C-alpha cells in the first residue's frame, strides 16, 4: 500500500516532537513522524544519530524527556504490546532449535509451547525455513537466520513491526536476496512497519515514505515519498525515478553533514 491517499486518515502511529538526551548528550530533538496502516516507513540517517533510541522509546524501554506518541489517535500506554521488535542482530539462542527460537516471543507472552509451534509451523515454508525446524542456528546461513528472526517477529501479530537494520550484517549478495524476499512478503501482507537502515538504496526499494534524520541530535530534515509501483524487482533499481529519489536522499544527507 502506498502512503498516497492515506494522509486523510488517522495515522496508525504519530510521533510528535520527541526529544531525549542521555545525561548531557542530546540524542533526539523534536522528532515528528507518522506511520499509516499498511505502510512501510524507513528512517535513514548517520550512525549514532538516535534511530535505535527512537525504537527503544516506542517499545517502552526508554522514557523520553518530552514529546507525544499516539497509537490509533490515542496516547500510547507505556506497557503497550503494540510493537514487535527485530533488533540488528538475529538474537537467535544457540541452544534452541529453529522451531523453538521462532516461538520464543509467543512463549514469553504466555502462549504454551505446543500452541506456539502450531502457529509457527505453517509459516516455515513461507519464510524459507521448510525442513529446518529441527536445525540449530549454527547450521543456518546468514540469510536464513534473518528469516527466522523475522518470523519470530511477525508471528507475534502486533500492530506495528519495528525492524532495526535487519540486513546490516549480511554480505552484499545476501542482502539483495533478503531485500527482494522481504519486498515480496510485505506486498502479500502489508504489515505496518518502521524500518531503520543506513542503506539508501534499501530504503527506496522497500519503503512508501522515507524520513531523513540529521546527525545527533537527530532532527527530521526531509520527508520523501516513494511513489514507485509495487511489486518492485531488481529492475526497479535502475528506473530513473528510483535513481532520482536516491539522489534526493543523498543530497539531504550531504547538506546536513551526514555524508
Domain count, the chain: 2
201 and 239 belong to one structural domain: yes
| Cell, residue 65 | 524527556
Mean pLDDT value across the chain: 90
What is the residue range of 4's domain?
A: 1-82+159-259
* Domain match, 188 and 140 both: no
Q: What is the pLDDT of residues 62-121, one digit of tens each?
A: 888 999 999 999 998 766 778 989 988 889 999 999 999 999 989 988 899 999 999 999
Last-in-domain residue among 127, 157, 187: 157
- Residue 49 pLDDT greater than 70, yes or no: yes
CB atoms within 10 A of CB 242: 18
Residue 8: pLDDT band (50, 70, 90) is low
pLDDT band at 162 (very low <50, low <70, confident <90, very high): very high
Q: Check whether residue 181 and residue 126 sit in a common domain.
A: no
| Per-residue DSSP letter, 27 | E
Total-model pTM: 0.90
> Do residue 185 and residue 140 come from a single domain?
no
Same domain, 35 and 122: no
CATH number at residue 38: 3.40.50.300
- Is the pLDDT at 60 greater than 70? The verdict is yes
pLDDT of residue 7: 43
Residues 110 and 151 in one domain: yes
191 and 176 in one domain? yes
Q: Tell me: do 71 and 122 sit in the same domain.
A: no
* Residue located via cell numbers 524476499: 181
Helices (H) and strands (E) in the chain, counts: 8, 10
- Among 104, 137, 157, which residue terminates a domain? 157
What pLDDT, on a 0 to 100 scale, did the predictor assign at position 81?
Answer: 77
What was the pLDDT predicted at 43?
A: 96
| 2 pLDDT more than 70 | no
Last residue of a domain, one of 133, 157, 181: 157
What pLDDT, on a 0 to 100 scale, did the predictor assign at position 1? 39
Please tell me the predicted confidence (pLDDT) of residue 77: 75
Do both 65 and 138 map to the same domain?
A: no
- Distance in Å from the first CA to the final CA of the chain: 31
Region 209-233: mean pLDDT is 94
* Percent of the chain's residues with pLDDT above 90: 64
Contact between 69 and 13 (Cβ < 8 Å): yes
Pair (1, 54) in one structural domain: yes
Can you list the alpha helix ranges (DSSP code H) found in 19-133? Answer: 51-58, 98-102, 104-108, 113-120
**Whether residue 41 is found in the same domain as residue 132:** no
Q: How confident is the model at residue 258 (pLDDT cuts 50, 70, 90)?
A: low
- Segment 118-134, tens digit of pLDDT: 999 999 998 999 999 99
Shared domain for 73 and 169, answered yes or no, is: yes
The pLDDT score that the predictor gives to residue 221 is 95
Tell me how far CA of residue 86 lies from CA of 114, 132, 154, 156, 256, in angstroms.
Answer: 23, 21, 9, 11, 28
Amino acid at each position: 500500500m502506498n502512503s498516497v491517499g492515506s494522509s486523510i486518515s488517522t495515522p496508525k502511529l504519530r510521533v510528535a516532537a520527541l526529544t531525549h538526551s542521555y545525561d548531557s548528550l542530546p540524542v533526539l530533538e523534536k522528532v515528528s513522524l507518522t506511520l499509516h496502516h499498511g505502510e512501510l516507513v524507513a528512517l535513514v540517517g548517520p550512525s549514532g544519530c538516535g534511530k535505535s533510541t527512537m525504537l527503544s522509546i516506542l517499545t517502552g524501554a526508554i522514557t523520553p524527556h518530552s514529546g507525544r506518541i499516539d497509537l490509533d489517535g490515542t496516547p500510547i500506554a507505556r506497557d503497550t504490546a503494540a510493537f514487535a521488535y527485530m533488533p540488528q542482530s538475529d538474537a537467535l539462542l544457540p541452544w534452541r532449535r529453529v522451531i523453538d527460537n521462532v516461538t520464543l516471543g509467543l512463549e514469553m507472552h504466555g502462549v504454551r509451547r505446543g500452541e506456539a509451534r502450531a502457529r509457527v509451523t505453517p509459516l516455515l515454508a513461507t519464510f524459507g525455513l521448510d525442513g529446518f525446524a529441527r536445525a540449530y542456528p549454527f547450521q543456518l546461513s546468514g540469510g536464513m537466520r534473518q528469516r527466522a528472526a523475522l518470523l519470530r517477529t511477525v508471528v507475534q501479530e502486533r500492530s506495528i513491526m519495528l525492524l532495526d537494520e535487519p540486513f546490516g550484517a549480511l554480505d552484499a549478495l545476501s542482502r539483495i536476496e533478503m531485500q527482494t524476499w522481504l519486498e515480496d512478503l510485505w506486498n502479500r501482507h502489508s504489515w505496518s512497519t518502521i524500518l531503520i537502515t543506513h542503506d539508501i538504496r534499501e530504503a527506496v526499494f522497500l519503503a512508501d515514505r522515507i524520513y531523513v534524520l540529521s546527525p545527533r541530535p537527530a532532527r527530521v530534515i526531509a520527508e520523501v515519498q516513494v511513489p514507485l509501483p509495487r511489486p518492485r524487482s531488481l529492475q526497479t533499481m535502475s528506473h530513473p525515478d528510483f535513481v532520482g529519489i536516491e539522489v534526493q536522499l543523498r543530497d539531504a544527507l550531504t547538506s546536513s553533514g551526514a555524508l
